Structure 1
Amino acid sequence: MTLPELVQGELGEESPVARVHLGGDDELFVTATRTLVYRAEGLLSDESVEEYPHDAERVSVSESRRKAKVTLEYGLDGERTFSVPRGSLEEVLHPVLAGVLSAAGITDPGETVERTFRFSELTLVVTSARLVKHVGAAVWDEDYEEFRYDDVSDFDVEEGSHATTLVLATNGRQERFKAPSDRAREIEETLADALLDHYDVATLEEFRALSAEADGEDGDGGALDRADFGGGPDPLSAEPAEIDTDAGTRDDPLEDPPSDPGGAADGTTAGVGAAATEPPRRADDAEAGAAGEAAAAGDAFGDSGFEPAEPTDDLAEEVAALRETVDRQAERLERHNELIEQLIEELRRGR
């Protein structure tokens, strides 16, 4: 797939490592050193390319119902923000954050960022060599923590009804963090696969045995204490809201008032009786009555000196001209509707 000419000029000798479609002809391109946001020509703007270097000190995200904004802060050099459709945020954030981690020297050359997980005030970045953890309003800043797989001796999961605790044994300590139960399986599998690939083993049991052998232990000294993981901070709100079970109750529904069988019967009898006593009308009588009414109307026009109006050529021309005007107005309305839909689509894409 070819690149827009304006993007080719901005890239120079660099090649994009990620390309994300933002709706319409708008796209986002990520290189090793920067992010380029391409906006195609539209109702609100001309064709353009904006550049966002990866040497940022902080990355934050804000979301609204339709849009999401990614802000890169550069210390004394200020900050830069670009907007994307909310549905594209996760696809955009992953390569951008990977570029920022690489520029900050957190990940090494050749190290792959496998997945990025963002839950409220917890962000987890799983790479091929480490786990990067950040707790706070920002997605990432200098207050991050990292856990190299070379220092990890065990990995386990403690399941809960609303949140799941993931525990790493590293350097003789237990590092634990919580994630929503509906996403914990994704983190568990991604992190476990990264650990197994790093140590070139097939199962966690083999990984634990390998770690115990490296430590000169029988396999228990470096393992996690699965009986008690302790307390620790919880970055997520895992407790459900209290529910008032009495608020939705009500008394038995009211009974319908008794009906009056006698009245209903009398009404039915009366209607049948009236219909039975009225003599049927003959079709000949109806036709005769209609003819008489038409004759009376004609006599009325004759007595008054007026005659019924007949259609003229001028009236037909006016009707034709009016129809042509209505057709033109309909075409204009259709064009206006198309422009409004295009404007709404550009606003949704974060123009």
Structure 2
Amino acid sequence: MDVVSDAISAVRVGRPSSDRVRVAGRWCARLAPYEGAGFHVVLGGSCWVLPDGGEPVALGAGDAVLLPHGTGHVIADAPADAETVAGAVPFDRWAGGSLPRPPRPAARGTEVTLLCGKYRLDRHHAHPLLAELPPLVHLPARDGAHPGLRAAIGLLEGELDERRPGASLALTGLLDLLLVYMIRAWTAESTTGTWPAALGDPATAAALRALHSDPAAPWTIGRLAAEAGVSRPTLARRFTTLVGRPPMAYLTWWRLTRAAALLRDTDAPLATVARRVGYASPYALSHAFRREFGTTPGRYRDGVVSSPASASASASGS
């Protein structure tokens, strides 16, 4: 595993949902804040996204936009004033097909086709890489930029247009791939974020890869420095500066975060969970888990299983 994959898998709950929508003329739809991440891909035409508390962003054909913190927003045919935004049609009323026109003055306009969707996320133990993402990530369609993302969008469009055998499974997998590519594109383009810098530093990136590849291994700062090809003081300094905590402290936090995900997503016995994340016994894991999260692993699992969000996800098959 790598940092981006692990960061996503630690918080993903259930499967993503999506709708393809078409609209022409004057239109405006609102998506309420969401406990997860939202996205839009413009398959044809152009439109605008207006995030709560942010500036309007113009979207063209092939553009993708990710709202990683579930920020409420409006999508519309044009930048909208406060009155128009207040009267936006709830997006859920449009899901599942062609969009009925909202009650706004009719005007002839180019048809817009969008792929809109959501990812369910458990934000209680989000990886700092995801926490660092801005409220809105805009990835314009530029020649030669992010070919993987462009290919995923093309494949998604094909699965939407052609209901071939296995399309349901393929669509879910492609939506997961889309999230990876959008976050990967942000890490490649960001010039201010801490984590893009950490992943771009050879020694820090090598240490992170080692920790994420085998968090249960008996890591020491010396062994980790050897893996990264630098001295122990150099690794400690660079890792702490870029990641925000020393290597061994990060390892402890990541082990416990993985334990929380295993408790949430599996029914594995505590002894198995402890072994998989590098603790010698259930007692050792319980002691560390309680210190980090303020509750025991058993109570944490019971609370997650009985939470309304989990019940909803299970009921919906997501």
Tell me the TM-score range normalised by the shorter chain: under 0.3
TM-score for both structures, normalised by structure 2: 0.23
TM-score for both structures, normalised by structure 1: 0.22
Q: More relative contact order in 1 or in 2 (CA 8 Å, sep 6+)?
A: 2
Structure number with bigger Rg: 1
Higher share in strand: 1
Higher share in helix: 2
